[in-house]
Structure 1
Amino acid sequence: MIFRWKAVLMFAFMVILTSGCAGKTEINDLGLVMAVGLDKGKEEGTIQVTAQVARPADARGQTGAPSGQTGEPIWSSTATGDSIFTAIRHLGKHSSRRIYWAHNFVIVINEDLAKEGIADILDFFTRNHQLRMRTLVVVTPDPASKLVSTITGLEVVPGQAIKDLFQYSSITMAAPKTEMIDLQSAYLSDSTHPVLARLSLEEHGISNKKPTAKANIKQIELVGTGVFKNDKLIGTIGPEDTKGLLFFLENVKSGAVAAQCPSNPDKFMTVELRYQKFDATPTYKDNQVGFDVKLKSSVQVVEAGCPFSLKDRQQVKELETQIEENLKGKIEKIVHLAQKEYKVDFLELGKVFNNRFPAEWKKIVPNWEDEFTKAKISVEADVQIKSSVLLYQPTQSGKKNEGY
Structure 2
Amino acid sequence: MRMRKLSAMVLLFVLALITVSGCWSRRELNHLTIILGAALDLKNDHHYITVMGTDPTQGGGGKERSQGSGQGSPFVVTSAEGKTIFEAARNLSLIMPRRNYWAHCEVVLVSEGYAREKGLRELLDFFTRDHERRRETYLIVTRGQAGEMLKVMPTLSQYPAREIIEQIRLTRISAKGLVTILNDFIAQSEGVTRTSLVNYMDIRNYGGNPEIPGQGEEKVQAGAGVFYNYKLIGLLNTRETRGANWLRDNIKTGVISFAPEGEREKNTVLQIDRVKTKMKPLLKEEGGQVKYTIEVTGSLVEYGGKADITKKETVKMLEKACSEEIEKEIREIWKKAQRELKTDIFLLGDKFAHAYPFLLKTDPSEWQEFFMALELELEVKTKINSAGVRGKPV
The reply to whether TM is greater than 0.5 is yes
Pairing 1:48-127 to 2, within 5 Å after superposition:
48-56=48-56, 60=60, 70-116=71-117, 117-127=119-129
Pairing 1:5-404 to 2, within 5 Å after superposition:
5-16=6-17, 19-41=21-43, 43=44, 45-56=45-56, 60=60, 70-116=71-117, 117-203=119-205, 217-261=216-260, 268-305=267-304, 311-359=310-358, 362=361, 367-389=366-388, 391=389, 393-394=391-392
Gap change, CA 1:167 and 1:109, over 3 Å in 2: same
1:4 CA drift (Å): 5.0
1:277-312 Cα offsets, whole Å, 9 max, x none, are: 122210112151110122111010112345676531
Tell me how far apart the structure 2 counterparts of residues 360 and 180 of structure 1 sit (CA, whole Å): 25
Report the more deviating stretch, 257-266 or 333-342. 257-266
1:205 CA drift (Å): 8.3
Report the more deviating stretch, 253-262 or 311-320. 253-262
Tell me how far apart the structure 1 counterparts of residues 359 and 87 of structure 2 sit (CA, whole Å): 46
* Unmatched tracts of structure 1, length 5 or more: 208-215, 397-404
1:251 CA drift (Å): 3.1
Gap change, CA 1:292 and 1:222, over 3 Å in 2: same
Tell me how far apart the structure 2 counterparts of residues 57 and 272 of structure 1 sit (CA, whole Å): 45
Letter in 2 for 1:96: P
- Decide whether the 8 Å contact of 1:262 with 1:315 is kept in 2: no
1:25 CA drift (Å): 1.1
1:359-400 Cα offsets, whole Å, 9 max, x none, are: 3554686621111101111221110001135x163475xxxx
1:240-264 Cα offsets, whole Å, 9 max, x none, are: 1111111233531211111235586
Gap change, CA 1:160 and 1:250, over 3 Å in 2: farther
Gap change, CA 1:220 and 1:366, over 3 Å in 2: closer
TM-score by length of 1: 0.86
Tell me how far apart the structure 2 counterparts of residues 54 and 35 of structure 1 sit (CA, whole Å): 10
- Decide whether the 8 Å contact of 2:275 with 2:295 is kept in 1: yes
1:265 CA drift (Å): 5.4
- Decide whether the 8 Å contact of 2:32 with 2:56 is kept in 1: no
1:273 CA drift (Å): 0.9
TM-score by length of 2: 0.88
Tell me how far apart the structure 2 counterparts of residues 102 and 383 of structure 1 sit (CA, whole Å): 45
Gap change, CA 1:250 and 1:96, over 3 Å in 2: farther
* Unmatched tracts of structure 2, length 5 or more: 210-214
Local SS of the residue matching 1:177: coil
Gap change, CA 1:73 and 1:307, over 3 Å in 2: farther
- Decide whether the 8 Å contact of 1:35 with 1:51 is kept in 2: yes
Superposition RMSD on alpha carbons, in Å? 2.7
1:21 CA drift (Å): 2.3
Gap change, CA 1:98 and 1:361, over 3 Å in 2: closer
Letter in 1 for 2:285: D
Local SS of the residue matching 1:194: strand
- Decide whether the 8 Å contact of 1:308 with 1:393 is kept in 2: no
Tell me how far apart the structure 1 counterparts of residues 359 and 305 of structure 2 sit (CA, whole Å): 53
1:149-203 Cα offsets, whole Å, 9 max, x none, are: 2222311111111111122221122221111001111222232312211011113
1:67-89 Cα offsets, whole Å, 9 max, x none, are: xx941121111111111011111
Local SS of the residue matching 2:202: strand
Tell me how far apart the structure 1 counterparts of residues 229 and 22 of structure 2 sit (CA, whole Å): 44
Tell me how far apart the structure 2 counterparts of residues 235 and 93 of structure 1 sit (CA, whole Å): 36
Report the more deviating stretch, 1-10 or 271-280. 1-10
Gap change, CA 1:176 and 1:267, over 3 Å in 2: closer
Gap change, CA 1:11 and 1:306, over 3 Å in 2: farther
Letter in 2 for 1:243: R
Local SS of the residue matching 2:157: coil
Report the more deviating stretch, 156-165 or 286-295. 286-295
Tell me how far apart the structure 2 counterparts of residues 222 and 15 of structure 1 sit (CA, whole Å): 59
Q: What is the match of residue 212 of structure 2?
A: none
1:18-40 Cα offsets, whole Å, 9 max, x none, are: 63423211122211111111010
Letter in 2 for 1:232: K
